[in-house]
Amino acid sequence: MSLHDFIKILRQRWWVILLCTLVAAVAMFIVTPARGDTTQKIGNYTATTVVLVGDRAQPAPSRNDPAPSVQRASMGRIELFIKTGEVPKRAAQKLNYRDDPALLAAGLTVTSDPLSESITIATTAADGQRAALVANTFAQEAVAFFDEAPAGAGSAQLTILQEATPIPNRSTEGFVIPPDRNIRTALAALVGLLVGLALALVLDRLDSRLRTRTEVADALRMPVIAEVPRLKRGDRSDGTILTLSKPLSIYADGYRAARTALMHLPTQQVQGDWSPRRASGVPEEDAAENAHVILTTSAHAGEGKSTSVANLAASFAETGLRVLVLDADLRSPDVHTKFDVPQGAGISDYLTNRGATELADIMRPTSIEGVRIVTAGTRLDYPASLTSRLAPLLDDARKNADIILIDTAPLLAASDVFDILPLADAIVVVVRAGRLTENAASRVAELLGRFRVPVTGAILIGGHVRKADYGSGYGYGDTPTRGKIRGANRSATRPSIPTRDDVPVSPDEPVSTGDDAPRRSRP
């Protein structure tokens, strides 16, 4: 994934990241008390017993029996007898320890100090009382063992100097969250941010909707001839044709770009295994008459197809062409509402009473000069059978208009449009950003490719278009620029320079256009 792709995901899924961050921060702020518990957590307890080592008192020798020689046990030997042998067995029996006594002794830490002649017995456990009991028991059994003076142990007198007392050990394992409420909230927000980023990446991987110009062009296998940016909230009105109401807006320029493409660009067949390939890649058709009959369709309903037809009609009318709009979406006629024309006798009536109804009788004027419309009509019971008989109507329409715009049913919603596809000179697919999926786009491309119909391209509605792409900062906008002519203020202070019209020229002198004058490059 490139940096550009990552930034695109952030721009599209920023609300997911923000939501996860806020939820984590707010949840932690609520569950954390204002004055947190500053006491440190206790992990375990250590109990230590200190035993002094001395010489055992010897009995006084008799006259006939001299005192026996007894060697004192070394400190190392005393440690050994405390951790192995009889002492652990006695301690385990007293503590009711049922496992191997060696395991119980393994938890002891026995150290000796020759200078002070003392031995320290320490043990650690989660229960402080248990730790003290184990240490004291081993110390007591060690004292009793050496009091018995067993053979091989040596002589020693053990005395318990200090019994074990459990001492708590503070928990230092792992990461300890600070008790401060603000710190915990900040840490939770950071965790939520990371979770939001991961969730945004997962959603982007699972989301197959098309949003950008490149994605639409690749999925539909056709060029995007125009992009119309997302409308502002104040401009979202069903009855507003922005090409007419805001002719200088970037929305109107988008439809003018589509008009230019329809008038000048050649059509093509959708590329695919079902269509013959040329060396150049995409087979092209000659646009001899600049797309006289233009069919506008989409994959699904609600992608802006009817709105695009109305704005295209207004943009064609700007050039002085006679435009005729045909509402051939007989299942859900809607384009007449864009022109504020009531529903009445139209295409269905013309096709039902062939010969009894003339095209001139059902063509209605609109509020846009040069644009007329034929509504869907009143007999809409069998739309599929009516659209298959549309060819005679188009033959009559070609005689009454320069440009014919047909609004049809969506390609993937009804089969009515398939009967009209071969009758069009050019086909435009309207795509709303974020609504068409890759699978649906592939299906649209397959259908258009199998019919081998002439396709000009797609119009992307609601995509993200930067203002810089439309010349922002250079004086272009919704209103004309006034008083920004470069050098207007300086011309009033300069002396007047005579122009060519002010200098008398003799009839025999050739007029120079200035192209033959030598030029110097600027320093």
The per-residue pLDDT for range 327-338, each reduced to its tens digit, is 988 888 888 888
Model confidence at 167: pLDDT above 50: yes
* Structural domain harbouring 9: 3-40+177-206
Instruction: Tell me the average pLDDT across 244-263.
Output: 89
Query: Which of 163-177, 255-269, 414-428 has the weakest average pLDDT?
Result: 163-177
Model confidence at 285: pLDDT above 60: no
User: Is 493 part of a structural domain of the chain?
Assistant: no
What is the structure's pLDDT at 428? 94
pLDDT: which is higher, 342 or 518: 342
Q: State both tokens at 493.
A: 């202070």
Query: Which residues fall within 8 angstroms of residue 35, CB to CB, at 6 or more apart?
Result: none
Asked if residue 338 and residue 436 are part of one domain, the reply reads: yes
Instruction: Tell me the average pLDDT across 392-407.
Output: 90
Q: How many CB atoms lie within 10 A of CB 521?
A: 4
Asked if residue 157 and residue 201 are part of one domain, the reply reads: no
Instruction: Tell me the average pLDDT across 356-371.
Output: 88
Model confidence at 117: pLDDT above 60: yes
Q: What is the pLDDT of residues 216-231, one digit of tens each?
A: 999 999 999 999 988 7
CATH code, 462? 3.40.50.300
Asked if residue 47 and residue 33 are part of one domain, the reply reads: no
- With CA atoms as reference, report the closest residue to 383 among 429, 358, 418: 418
Asked if residue 7 and residue 133 are part of one domain, the reply reads: no
User: Is 500 part of a structural domain of the chain?
Assistant: no
Q: What is the pLDDT of residues 12-21, one digit of tens each?
A: 788 899 999 9
Asked if residue 202 and residue 121 are part of one domain, the reply reads: no
Q: Which residues pair with 364 in a beta bridge?
A: 373
Highest-confidence segment of 111-120, 164-173, 351-360? 111-120
Instruction: Report the half-sphere exposure of 153 (CA within 13 A, side-chain side).
Output: 24
Instruction: Tell me the average pLDDT across 154-182.
Output: 77
Q: What is the pLDDT of residues 187-205, one digit of tens each?
A: 999 999 999 999 988 887 8
Query: Which of 65-79, 84-98, 291-305, 491-505 has the weakest average pLDDT?
Result: 491-505
Query: Which residues fall within 8 angstroms of residue 506, CB to CB, at 6 or more apart?
Result: none
Asked if residue 289 and residue 265 are part of one domain, the reply reads: yes
Asked if residue 84 and residue 18 are part of one domain, the reply reads: no
Cα(239)–Cα(369) distance, integer angstroms: 17
Q: How many domains does the chain have?
A: 3
Give the residue carrying structure tokens 């018995």. Answer: 148
> How far is CA 199 from each of CA 8, 10, 192, rounded to the nearest angstrom?
15, 11, 10
Q: What is the pLDDT of residues 136-145, one digit of tens each?
A: 999 998 888 8
- Chain mean pLDDT for the chain: 79
Q: How many CB atoms lie within 10 A of CB 111?
A: 12
User: Is 517 part of a structural domain of the chain?
Assistant: no
CA atoms 92, 93, 96, 100: torsion sign: positive
What's the Rg (C-alpha) of the chain?
A: 47
The DSSP secondary structure of 145-214, one letter per residue, reads HHHS--TTT-B-EEEEEE----EEEE--SSPPPPS-HHHHHHHHHHHHHHHHHHHHHHHHHH--B--SHH
Asked if residue 283 and residue 139 are part of one domain, the reply reads: no
CB-based burial of residue 383 (10 Å sphere; 0-12 exposed, 13-18 middle, 19+ buried)? buried
Q: What is the pLDDT of residues 488-507, one digit of tens each?
A: 444 443 443 344 444 444 44
Pairing of strands 371-374, 364-365: antiparallel
Asked if residue 461 and residue 385 are part of one domain, the reply reads: yes
Contact between residue 433 and residue 463 where contact means Cβ atoms under 8 Å apart = yes
